[in-house]
């Protein structure tokens, strides 16, 4: 008769799982009892952790809870811990992690667990430390735009391979296809028109989950067309930035998007006196920071957002200097005057509405 035990160890708020195969064999000399007082306190302390994973995994028959409370055959109180040859740790750990992620979201800041069903209703804000976690573009549209008023623009525009970028690991086309399947998006930005508290607005939302929100020729073209449409219709613009910068697979074509977007924004803002709000989320870096991200009439940033041109690692490798922790966070940069407002996500819509009212923008019946 075989007995199995899951050992759970918490290391820096993360759990590592080991599955130990036990056999009843009189030749084995290394035994211990699960009822030994020396380990009972540890079992109690880990009981809740074990139970949560026990509830979400198909391999419950290997669990501590099962072995201690549900195993009918209690003949063998002694359990051996050195026979681990037949256990595939990686497969079991992956199985646990996949099911674990379906129920919980771990905070990047405090490592606390947030119940996934309530996480979206909290706007992806950690219930333990109020840290703002990443949010996909569709959820951001739902956050700001009135229900039923969103109309997408250029949603079927997609990238090809303009410079025939080649990689031994994965072709650019295959990489695009992978992220299209993974995110359900065609490109790293969604653009469209909608209403914010009944005020018509043109909005672009970048999605970091699609190739790190990198800006290629399609991203640049969609944002450019959005600005031109807003200019022709005299609409205010909101662009929510979340990007790692220019897309290296498109070379200089991606870099030219910085100049193209900045040019149409100049015409939109100065020649037409229209209103543009830039919202920077974590992370916003590279070419997006160096162009339209910092060109808003009002620049809003989320709390604790990472905003930079070059990342910490790149700076340290290039300049051979240590970058202090927190140097590129929203709060530190706000003190240097780079932004106008730091606004929590849960009041963002109301703040934008008040800014629109200050600009004399009124609700209208049609876009």
Determine if residue 241 is labeled as part of a ligand binding site: no
Q: Would you tell me how many other CB atoms lie within 10 Å of the CB of residue 347? A: 9
Cα dihedral 227, 229, 235, 237, rounded to 10, equals -30
Rounded CA separation 340/300 (Å): 6
How many other C-beta atoms are found inside a 10 Å radius of the C-beta of residue 46? 17
Identify the H or E element spanning 282: strand 276-284
Instruction: Report the C-alpha gap between 111 and 187 in whole angstroms.
Output: 31
Alpha carbons within 13 angstroms on the beta-carbon side of residue 55 total 9
As a whole number of angstroms, the distance between CA 259 and CA 152 comes to: 24
364 is in an annotated binding site: no
Task: For the chain, report the end-to-end CA distance as a whole number of angstroms.
Answer: 72
If you ran DSSP here, which 8-state letter would residue 184 be given? S
Contact, 1 vs 59, CB < 8 A? Answer: no
Place of tokens 């690991």: 169
Name the phi and psi angles at 102, rounded to 5: -75, -20
Rounded CA gap, 4 and 196, in Å? 57
Of the candidates 194, 201, 190, the residue with the CA atom closest to the CA atom of residue 223: 190
Tell me the binding residues for Zn(2+). 107, 110, 126, 129
Query: Which residues carry a binding-site annotation?
Result: 107, 110, 126, 129
């Amino acid at each position: 008769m075989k007995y199995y035990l899951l050992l759970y160890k918490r290391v820096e708020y993360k759990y590592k799982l080991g599955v130990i195969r036990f056999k009843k064999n009189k030749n084995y000399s290394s035994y211990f009892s699960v009822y030994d007082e020396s380990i009972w306190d540890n079992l109690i302390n880990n009981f809740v952790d074990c139970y949560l994973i026990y509830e979400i995994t198909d391999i419950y028959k290997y669990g501590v809870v099962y072995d201690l409370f549900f195993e009918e055959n209690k003949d063998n109180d002694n359990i051996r811990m050195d026979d681990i040859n037949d256990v595939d740790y990686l497969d079991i750990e992956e199985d646990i992690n996949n099911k674990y992620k379906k129920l919980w979201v771990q905070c990047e800041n405090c490592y606390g667990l947030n119940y996934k069903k309530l996480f979206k209703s909290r706007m992806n804000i950690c219930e333990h430390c109020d840290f703002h976690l990443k949010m996909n573009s569709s959820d951001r549209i739902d956050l700001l735009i009135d229900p039923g008023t969103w109309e997408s623009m250029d949603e079927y525009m997609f990238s090809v391979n303009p410079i025939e970028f080649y990689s031994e690991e994965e072709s650019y086309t295959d990489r695009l296809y992978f992220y299209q399947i993974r995110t359900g998006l065609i490109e790293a930005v969604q653009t469209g028109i909608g209403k914010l508290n009944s005020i018509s607005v043109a909005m672009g939302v970048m999605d970091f989950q699609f190739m790190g929100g990198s800006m290629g020729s399609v991203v640049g073209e969609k944002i450019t067309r959005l600005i031109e449409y807003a200019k022709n219709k005299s609409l205010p613009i909101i662009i929510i930035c979340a990007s790692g910068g220019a897309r290296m697979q498109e070379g200089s074509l991606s870099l030219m998007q910085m100049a193209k977007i900045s040019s149409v924004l100049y015409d939109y803002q100065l020649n037409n006196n229209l209103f543009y709000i830039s919202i920077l989320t974590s992370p916003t870096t590279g070419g997006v920071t160096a162009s339209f991200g910092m060109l808003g009439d009002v620049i809003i940033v989320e709390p604790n957002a990472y905003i930079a041109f070059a990342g910490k690692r790149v700076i340290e490798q290039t300049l051979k200097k240590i970058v202090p922790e927190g140097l590129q966070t929203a709060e530190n940069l706000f003190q240097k005057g780079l932004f106008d407002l730091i606004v929590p996500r849960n009041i963002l819509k109301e703040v934008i509405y008040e800014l629109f009212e200050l600009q004399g923008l009124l609700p209208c019946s049609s876009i």
